[in-house]
Amino acid sequence: MKKIFLLIIFNLSVIADYSDHKESEIVINELVNQHGFDKSFVIQVLKNAQRRDEMLESVANPAEKTKTWDDYKAIFIKKKRIQDGQDFIKKNSEVLQKAEDTYHVPKEVITAILGIETNYGKNMGNFRVLDSLTTLGFDDPRRSKFFRSELIQFFLLTRENNLDILKTKGSYAGAMGYSQFISSSYRAYAIDFDDDGYVDLFNSVEDAIGSIANYLKIHGWKKEGKIVTRSYPNNVRKFYKPHESLTQFIPLRFEEDGKDLHFIGDDNFRAIARYNISDVYAMAVYYLTEELKK
Ligand SMILES: [Ca+2]
């Protein structure tokens, strides 16, 4: 008896029929009634989805939160990644220049983001986006609403871009392609930068470069702006003029090699943090950018 019981539990944790989940009716209705999807298609897709418990673990403990700045920095700011980034800039100099001219985002910043997100396209994620967004959308205790909304966006994206909804892959959180855009960002900010009439973040490095620059521009990137300024504790005021509001500047503290480093995050720091809401992420982009400039 005990063995059979365990076997059933085990099976439930591996395959969950998400067409049958108590929250799925809202998703199915929205897709059918608001977006014109065929109901049997949606149900069939949700039946095919598989619950992946490791995604719930990962989303609860992202590297940005569990790792110290020293650890995080050690992963991304190292010789190989800097060298690969410099090679990437050489190889794609024309399109990077076009993005810089159009959106005023320096080529090193775009390249640093690609380097941190996917190691310049070498690691775009191996999870089915469908499994990520159903697992997190139906079973994540904290952010299920957000991921359910992304699941709906993913249905729309795959229909618009003619992607196979059962095969499209991404990160554990459903981020896709060279630039790791989630579905709503893909639909809203990804652009066709190689002019072939199709927005393709999976195969077109040109589209990914243009899309990152477009995203940053829309999220407040300033041509003459700064990412961060070095600061010192209790000395924050020195770095902004009296008429400027304090809320525009983010005081940042990082412990690096046992020492406290203080910075003020500026507009362009904010724009990067909109890409991935994390101070250590934005700081790693800044550090890698500076290395790529050398
Ligand atoms: Ca294209």
Dig out the tokens for 142 from the structure: 């904290």
For the ranges 7-11, 123-127, 261-265, which has the lowest average pLDDT? Answer: 7-11
Distance 95 CA to ligand 1 centre (A): 12
Determine the Cα–Cα distance for residues 207 and 95; give it in Å rounded to an integer: 9
Predicted confidence (pLDDT) per residue in 179-227, tens digit: 999 999 999 999 999 999 999 999 999 999 999 999 999 999 999 999 9
CB 204 within 8 A of CB 194: yes
Q: How high is the pLDDT of residue 248?
A: 63
Three-state SS string across 98-121, please?
Answer: HHHHHHCCCHHHHHHHHHHHHCCC
* 261 alpha carbon, distance to own chain's centre: 26
Inter-CA distances, 164 with 37, 89, 264, Å:
15, 31, 44
What does residue 252 show for φ and ψ, rounded to 5 degrees? -125, 140
CB 212 within 8 A of CB 204: no
Distance 234 CA to ligand 1 centre (A): 49
Helix 279-293 and helix 69-76: axis angle, to 10°?
40
Distance 53 CA to ligand 1 centre (A): 35
Determine the Cα–Cα distance for residues 209 and 53; give it in Å rounded to an integer: 33
Map out the domains of the chain as residue ranges: 1-223
Distance 199 CA to ligand 1 centre (A): 4
Distance 212 CA to ligand 1 centre (A): 14
Distance 203 CA to ligand 1 centre (A): 9
Q: How high is the pLDDT of residue 121?
A: 98
Average pLDDT score over residue span 29-37: 98
According to DSSP, residue 260 is labeled: E
Determine the Cα–Cα distance for residues 18 and 120; give it in Å rounded to an integer: 34
Amino acid present at 118: T
Query: Roughly how many angstroms between the first and final C-alpha of the chain, as a whole number?
Result: 67
**Predicted TM-score (pTM) of this structure:** 0.90
> Which of 3-7, 22-26, 122-126 ranks highest by mean pLDDT?
122-126
Q: How high is the pLDDT of residue 15?
A: 55
Distance 204 CA to ligand 1 centre (A): 6
Residue 285 host element (H or E):
helix 279-293
Helix 79-91 and helix 107-118: axis angle, to 10°?
130
For the ranges 61-75, 76-90, 106-120, 234-248, which has the lowest average pLDDT? Answer: 234-248
How many of the other CB atoms lie within 10 Å of CB of 170?
Answer: 27
Determine the Cα–Cα distance for residues 87 and 81; give it in Å rounded to an integer: 10
What percentage of the chain's residues is helix, strand, coil (to nearest 5)?
60, 10, 35
pLDDT higher than 90, residue 250? no
Q: How high is the pLDDT of residue 8?
A: 47
Predicted confidence (pLDDT) per residue in 253-262, tens digit: 899 999 999 9
What's the length of the chain?
Answer: 294
CATH number of this structure's domain 1-223:
1.10.8.350
Q: Map tokens 């396209």 to a residue.
A: 121
Predicted confidence (pLDDT) per residue in 251-287, tens digit: 888 999 999 999 989 999 999 999 998 899 999 999 9
Average pLDDT score over residue span 172-177: 97
Predicted confidence (pLDDT) per residue in 133-174, tens digit: 999 999 999 999 999 999 999 999 999 999 999 999 999 999
The stretches of 119-226 forming alpha helices (DSSP H) are: 129-139, 144-160, 183-189, 205-218
Q: How high is the pLDDT of residue 236?
A: 54
The four Cα atoms 279, 284, 286, 288 give a dihedral, to 10 degrees, of -170
Max CA separation in the chain (angstroms): 74
Catalytic residues: 117
For residue 261, what are the β-bridge partners? 254
